[in-house]
Amino acid sequence: MMAVAPHGNAKPAPAVSPQRVGVLLVNLGTPDTADAAGVRVYLKEFLSDPRVIEDQGLLWKLILNGIILRVRPGRKARDYQKIWNFEKNESPLKTITRSQAEKLAEAIADHEHVVVDWAMRYGNPSIRSRIAALTAQGCDRILVVPLYPQYSAATSATVCDEVFRVLADMRAQPTLRVTPPYYDDPDYIEALAVSINAHLASLSFQPDLIVASFHGMPQKYVDKGDPYQAQCVATTESLRKRIGLDASKLVLTFQSRFGSDEWLQPYTDKTIEKLAKDGVKRIAVVTPGFSADCLETLEEIAQENAEIFRHNGGEQFSAIPCLNDSDPGMDVIRQLVLRELQGWI
């Protein structure tokens, strides 16, 4: 068919440049600095999200601004300082997530038109800044990868919320895909099993049992329909089957509760205290709900809960690292990304 010449003084359409595909890894977030000021900024953003604290009414705002943001930042800053990467002046979560993005880019480097980047839902680098960077590099399609094995509204959904907010301000929106949760993905379960077995083989003791600790959430969120608890149970059951342990030897718990509401039970700290009081002397703790080590694993589990265990009669405690940027962990992310990029690459 013959092309039609531009009519009169009409401007010719701009040329379409070759397009690329962006992959954006997203994790929860971290303060920019390990001091009270940095933690305060981070907590304000995090706790002002209605996906995290659903009741953002006047009472909560008074509690948040009048009490929490006055008291908690100093205490949490001290916790961050225990695990801080002082060489790079950043939290381990940021160090690991950057490395995951770099290793993923290397692993899929044969797809030359794919650009890999990373962001934090709260703090920096922000989702907005990284979507801007990807589109500036010619990415007209973006795969968003929430780095949460199990879905919850307070993690995966709020990543999507923020991505959609960013796109709402864009005239030329990229086409969007979001990876699904991978809580029972065979590659993920296998990677967990390999990681656990390798860690146990390196210990000087044999644990009496393993605690699988997941981040908690208010019970009422699950009652309203959040699938998070069911997916944590599914992960644990698949892992038990894979490594050949029953429920008495691989115990499911929930950590990091906050406030006065009832949270998902059993609680990690109370379970570990009871195990020690009941005569259990040696345990290991794995955290299958975290894709990268962070404050909740390196300080809360490896330090606080280790102290709880020993204080109540336990003797040997080991925290099993998250998959992080290990070879098994990167295999999970690579397989997930390549599967969800089908049709684009």
Q: Among residues 183, 113, 191, which one has the least CA distance to residue 147?
A: 183
215 labeled binding residue: yes
CA atoms of 138 and 114, how far apart (whole Å): 10
Residue 150 DSSP symbol: S
**Ranges assigned E (strand) in the chain:** 20-30, 114-123, 139-146, 175-178, 209-215, 250-255, 282-286, 316-319
Is 273 marked as a binding-site residue? no
Q: Residue 161's Cα: distance from chain center in Å?
A: 16
Of 189, 190, 142, 207, nearest to 337 by C-alpha is: 142
Q: How many CB atoms lie within 10 A of CB 88?
A: 11
Q: Which helix (H) or strand (E) holds 307?
A: helix 306-311
Annotated binding site: 215, 296
Annotated binding site for Fe(2+): 215, 296
